[in-house]
């Protein structure tokens, strides 16, 4: 099962994502999804590390809560539909 999430990036992080995606001839949204998937599948990422990583993203907790509310309302888009 795939789920859609929404993230807001600081300007410098968004610019870096755009640069990396362009270098790989990819859309930034798909590139970000691929990066996150790779990160979460990595051996070095345990639950503590993942939690600390997510805590470092400004507004991540609020966004996750809002995403949960949206999901319960059925307002989700499967990743393979993007």
5 in a domain, yes or no? no
Alpha-carbon span 15 to 23, nearest angstrom: 12
What is d(CA 13, CA 28) in angstroms, rounded to the nearest whole number?
12
pLDDT (0 to 100) of residue 42: 66
9-17 contact pairs (CB < 8 A, 24+): 10/58
| 39 belongs to a structural domain | yes
pLDDT tens-place string over residues 68-81: 888 889 887 776 77
CB 36 within 8 A of CB 57: no
Please, which pLDDT band fits residue 43 given cuts at 50, 70 and 90?
A: low
Number of folded domains that form the chain: 1
Answer whether residue 4 is part of any domain: no
The domain in which residue 29 lies consists of: 11-81
Confidence check: pLDDT of 27 > 70: yes
Who has greater pLDDT, 28 or 61? 28
pLDDT at residue number 66:
86
Q: Residue 44 pLDDT more than 70?
A: no
Q: Is residue 2 part of a domain?
A: no
């Amino acid at each position: 099962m795939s789920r859609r999430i929404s993230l807001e990036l600081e300007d410098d992080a968004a610019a870096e994502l755009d640069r990396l995606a362009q270098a790989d001839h990819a859309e930034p949204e798909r590139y970000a999804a691929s990066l996150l998937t790779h990160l979460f599948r990595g051996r070095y990422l345990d639950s503590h590390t993942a939690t600390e990583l997510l805590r470092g993203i400004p507004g991540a907790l609020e966004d996750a809560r809002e995403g949960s509310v949206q999901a319960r309302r059925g307002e989700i888009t499967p990743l393979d539909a993007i």
